[in-house]
Structure 1
Amino acid sequence: MPKRGYHHGNLKQALVESALKLIEEKGPTGFTVAEAAKRADVTPAAVYRHFDGREALIAEAALQGHRIFGDLMEHAYADGKPTALAAFEATGRAYLAFARKFPGHYMAMFESGLSMQVNPDLAAAAARSRGVLEKAATELSMHIPEDKRPPATMFSSHIWAMSHGVVELFARGNPGAQAPFPPEDLLETGIGIYLRGLGLIRPDS
């Protein structure tokens, strides 16, 4: 079948979708522009009508991922109301759900080594989702005496790191990384231990 060149219904998005599949299979740096073009059934030269190269293609996949992720985090936060604790826990679960449903986006966002400094749109989209978790942490930490209250950025970063760790170690099906408990349970109990340490939930009786 002859290549369609740039005469494509939505070449830009077709290339992003091709890149996402390749990222899932080979990782963010494991494919070439030519492979992405082949998956989209266009010539490699057609790619450069929309992207400067592979890094720009990955950046677009990451940007779209951050926007989806931001929407999910905001929805989780709102859905978890009316209590600050429920909203905070919901944002942690949303992280795990996103990584499972959108693995290509997740890898482009967090494993590609993209520089936020050279991509303002990407930086803004990433800050939006982090901001939701930080807002949830801020509201929840109001229940801690001020002299014992950790900065909201630190608070949210701890939960972010815990969520990321559960995803990387137990939710992506890596060989030898199987846990005796579901990832959701690991994350929930980990967050519970952390919040008990801050005095935000009562110790088990």
Structure 2
Amino acid sequence: MPKRGYHHGNLRQALVEAALELIEDKGPTGFTLSEAASRAGVTPAAVYRHFAGRDDLIAEAALQGYEIFGALMARAYDSGGPSALSAFEATGRAYLAFARKHPGHYIAMFESGISVNRTPELAAAARAARRVLEEAAARLCQHIPAAKRPPATMFSAHIWAMSHGVVELFARGAPGSAGPYPPEDLLESGIGIYLRGLGLIPPDQGDA
């Protein structure tokens, strides 16, 4: 891939964008700060004015990813339809769409080994993204008697895990990852089975 070049006056962002390209090309541990500097069109010494090391650079990419992710999930939920169920389903589709459209961010967020607690800003962005799904889960469960109602954090964590698994196994395009069904169908049918188990949709209803 040709060098991006640093021309627009925002070196910090140029380095993040260079890192995202390198993460896609080589993985989060497959590049050096010098390579990021070279791709951004600056000297290695310039990087250290903004980032103490590669992990700090990846953490910034993850932070921006969570901000994009949270906004995308919120928009999907708000425009997902009139019912709590249709809005909830929209967040699942948004998860797959984000992984496809922003693979560098996705890897930085979930596959780099960088803790979401590395910085207060990163932790806050991650919480805000999770909160969208938790609020969607809470709304969907409102009519379940309180004594039988699963905690929204647990409900949303189950759906998050299912979404992540579908992305990792079938939506990232890795060799050998092709499945017998489209990722969207796998996720929606999985969510449907989960919701039936909670009694949130009737047994004879079509796939969620």
Instruction: Calculate the TM-score normalised by the size of structure 1.
Output: 0.94
Contact 2:59–2:118 under 8 Å retained in 1: no
Letter in 1 for 2:177: A
Matched, 1:74 2:74: yes
Letter in 1 for 2:130: R
Secondary structure at the counterpart of residue 80 of structure 1: coil
Q: Cα offset for 1:117?
A: 2.7
How many residue pairs match? The answer is: 201
RMSD: 1.6
How many Å separate the matches in 2 of 1:160 and 1:6? 37
Q: Cα offset for 1:87?
A: 1.3
Contact 1:99–1:106 under 8 Å retained in 2: yes
Structure 1 equivalent of residue 173 of structure 2: 173
Superposition pairs of residues 48-63 of structure 1, within 5 angstroms: 48-63=48-63
How many Å separate the matches in 2 of 1:72 and 1:114? 22
Contact 2:18–2:39 under 8 Å retained in 1: yes
How many Å separate the matches in 2 of 1:116 and 1:200? 32
Deviations 1:15-45 (A, max 9, x none): 1111001101111111100111111111111
Instruction: Calculate the TM-score normalised by the size of structure 2.
Output: 0.92
More helix by share: 1
Identical columns (%): 76
How many Å separate the matches in 2 of 1:70 and 1:19? 21
Q: Cα offset for 1:138?
A: 0.4
Q: Cα offset for 1:116?
A: 2.8
Can you give the 5+ residue segments of structure 1 that lack an aligned partner in the other structure? none
Seen in structure 2, the aligned counterparts of structure 1 residues 9 and 152 have a Cα distance that, compared at 3 Å, is same
Contact 2:99–2:106 under 8 Å retained in 1: yes
Secondary structure at the counterpart of residue 97 of structure 2: helix
Structure 2 equivalent of residue 111 of structure 1: 111
Structure 1 equivalent of residue 98 of structure 2: 98
Can you give the 5+ residue segments of structure 2 that lack an aligned partner in the other structure? none
How many Å separate the matches in 1 of 2:6 and 2:52? 15
Secondary structure at the counterpart of residue 192 of structure 1: helix
